[in-house]
Structure 1
Amino acid sequence: MSVIGFLRNFDHTNNKMDSCSIANFLLVLLLSLASLCPVHGTHEEDHNTNYAKEILSAAQQDKQWLVSIRRQIHENPELRFEEYNTSALLRRELDQLGITYTYPIAKTGIVAQIGSGSSPVVALRADMDALSLQVLSVTYVRGGSASNVIPSHVEFGGTLRSLTTEGLWKLRRRLKEVIESQAVVHRCNAYVDMKDEEFPPLPAVFNDESLHLHVKRVGELTLGPENVKVCEKLMAGEDFAFYQELIPGVMFSIGIRNEEVGSVYSPHSPYFFLDEDVLPIGVALHVALVEIYLESRQHAVKQ
């Protein structure tokens, strides 16, 4: 059985997250890789409580290491395909942990691997590029700067979002139809450019049902049923969906809200602040997800 960790940039310009958030994802993945080991015994119901306590305790022991590396990454953010220092830092840590990896992937990316390479296999993936902390998702209109002159042409743009891939393609077709037909009504010309080369359309993220149930079960085991909730559907763009088109995948969120320390703002806010106590929790959850999945699938493969 194997665990593969992807430390790479696969995002387009308008989908990257701020450096603080990226650091958090990388740390969770890095320590998850460091903590994984061959699974012994089983995780039946009578062992659940002890397993949860042990894995959370083990993650807490590495909190200072987590915090130290997170701050190094956050203090030195790098744009996509330019993450040379970030990549070097991660490779040094992987070397110290004795974890083999392939480099470079997509210029600065890393693929680390633990295990034999045989089935079953689990892949953990994280971004490693940064973006300015303040991101505004608004439309724009450009029509000249004169206050008393009607411009000969106007350019306006924005983003299209949908909860389904089919809905996105329908929106694209309908937008083109409406804009071009309305221009004809007013004796004007209109041209719609979707900028597919610069910003390829992202399919919707659909979690695999069995993996979704696995995350829910392991989350309740590790963190308690009261701390696991089904997220509302979001209009966010996420290219993790490209992976899900090829293999079963699941994407989930880890809550970080803590009013006592000021961790109340969204990741793209200039006031974003991370409650660093959450880092070991994220690591423990990822490790538990991988260990329990590999153990259950290994038994299935043997049968």
Structure 2
Amino acid sequence: MQQGIGGRPPSPRSVLLAEVAQATQRLADAGVDSPRADAEELAAFVHGVKRGELHSVKDADFDARYWEVIARREQREPLQHITGRAYFRYLELQVGPGVFVPRPETESVVGWAIDAVRAMDVVEPCIVDLCTGSGAIALALAQEVPRSRVYAVELSEDAMKWARKNVEGTRVELRQGDALTAFPELDGQVDLVISNPPYIPLAERENIAPEVRDYDPEMALFSGEDGLDLIRGLERTAYRLLRPGGVVVVEHADTQGGQVPWIFSEERGWADAADHPDLNNRPRFATARKALP
């Protein structure tokens, strides 16, 4: 018998790992951006293990349902809709049809916000998340800024169904309503306002990935001809909510770098408006501070 390292027989290649390789090629041919990662994640989902444990699945335990979920992903159904879960920073969230799937790019937005809140000389910082969707941003802030008071608002009833599931048992206060008129009782008291609003220009509808265009809710995607309609409205909401010296953080498209900080102008009561890159060094979010009297 052929000997492996230390005299042990070499481990046989798992049938599952061979199938994952075939699935990776199928997903790549279908235009999926991360074919290997998705093929592995779907294999782990079907077989009830973690991605790093796929090698432990015995040949006899290979589940033919794997090809069913691969076929769905080939049709560009979002990975998170198939598995029913999305990972965001240190969270595992429940997601599905009707709610915007949180993206890795937004993690850098939240990271900046967490650092900003921690730098404030505030014992129990007050945070408002506008257009919360699945609740990802609000929950991450509540988890990583332990003494914070976190409020979140979402207009869509479909998205609220998922947000309610995710925030259940946490201290996030979730409400359904219009972000532009939310939380009037907090006017002038908030330390941080954060939002990942819709910001895709209507003209870009046919240019976005099928996973986004065909599955994410339109309400969470599009906002006028230049994509900035809601952000313009949120500027006034943030100004109303924030205390003097409080900070606003708003995500935007990488093609909108330089445009959003101008919305938070000195003439409208803001200071230190700036744009920031994501981990891929693309313009991703704007910040500003409500000017002191």
TM-score by length of 1: 0.26
Considering Cα pairs closer than 8 Å and 6+ residues apart, tell me whether 1 or 2 has the greater RCO. 1
Structure with a larger share of its residues in strand: 2
TM-score by length of 2: 0.27
